[in-house]
Amino acid sequence: MVMAPMTRSRAVTGNVPNPLAPVYYAQRAQAGLIISEATQVSRQGTGYIRTPGIYSLAQVEAWRRVTDAVHEAGGIIFAQLWHVGRVSHPEFHDGVLPVAPSAINAEADVFTSTGIAQTPVPRALLTSEIADVVSQFRQGAEKASEAGFDGVEIHGSSGYLLDQFLRDGSNKREDHYGGTIINRARFPLEVVSAVSEVLGADRVGFRVGPNMSLHGMSDSSPVETFSYLATQLDAIGIAYLHVTEGIAGPDAPVAGSQRIAPYLRQCFSRTFILNGGYDAQTGEDAINKGEADLIAYGVPFIANPDLPARFACGSDLNVPDPATFYAPGHNDAVGYTDYPTLNKSKKT
């Protein structure tokens, strides 16, 4: 059982992880692997209020407290490295436009300090600028190592920057980072190679969401596109491929579209993680059928710090409160560190 990465919007000033984060993550250390909330590799990678980064000394020190707490509780934790690309707003960049592969608006809402705002038309990255973004991910991996993470997951899903480069609905470039599948996958693979050079490929994972239409995403040939990427990731030798393609809920393929995860399973020979709408039984079934090696759970882990123990004994689950998924504003502990465990204790 993997704890999926989940944005909780509780970072404090300077995009520093919340002082309660060590408690939150340590409470969930029963997971076979914890993947942290999405963590931006630079200021340029920011697109939401109160999301943590991993590029400053203060951020690294705060994350060190998290990893220490998880390790003391017997857990393993990877940092999810993130750059939002066009899913952002000039407020986060001193009035400068966010960047993307092409000047195409995501037509999405983002949360700013003044409320919900519409994304603008982004600025297309110059070819000469792409190496700098690769370096941002490389530095993120270095900082994650300094902070004590056991590895990293690269966020290549949900319509963020790496996903934007990969899919032809958002990438209309005419240089060697656009056009063919090989070209569109070049930037994500350069990021993976750079991060692997820092940590070793066996401490790197990659997340995709091939059927996700979030943030205006689309691709004309998703099976071909994501199969090529999975094959190349397998050749690099990364630890795992994490596929979000729900069997239920908003991440499930829309009616009439095909599931892509089975194709990726054939292309990727190492650890394969599925995520999206699974419960104890459907997760067990997927593993028994060979569809996955691990199942990642998101919302169930929010409301149930001891989710593995509850699955093991067939206990009822706490009911999650969506109103507190993101910071409620007045008390960050509410809906974060106060869900009860099986022994009814409350850890705040």
Query: Looking at the annotation, which residues are catalytic?
Result: 160
Q: C-alpha dihedral over 112, 59, 131, 178, to 10 degrees? A: -40
Q: Is the dihedral of CA 171, 176, 177, 179 positive or negative?
A: positive
CB 192, CB 204: distance < 8 Å: yes
Q: How far is CA 310 from CA 9, 69, 307, in A?
A: 26, 22, 5
Spatial separation of the C-alpha atoms in residues 81 and 76, rounded to whole Å: 16
Q: DSSP for 207-222, please give it.
A: EE-TT--GGG---S-H
Q: 228 in helix, strand or coil?
A: helix
Q: Are strands 109-112 and 115-118 parallel, antiparallel or unpaired?
A: antiparallel
Spatial separation of the C-alpha atoms in residues 157 and 219, rounded to whole Å: 13
SS3 content of the chain, % helix, strand, coil (to 5): 35, 15, 50
Residue 317, both tokens: 């689950």
Spatial separation of the C-alpha atoms in residues 49 and 12, rounded to whole Å: 9
Q: DSSP for 40-81, please give it.
A: ESSGGG--STT--BSSSHHHHHHHHHHHHHHHHTT--EEEEE
Q: Are strands 294-297 and 109-112 parallel, antiparallel or unpaired?
A: unpaired
Among 130, 93, 91, 133, which residue's Cα sits nearest to residue 111? 91
Spatial separation of the C-alpha atoms in residues 124 and 212, rounded to whole Å: 22
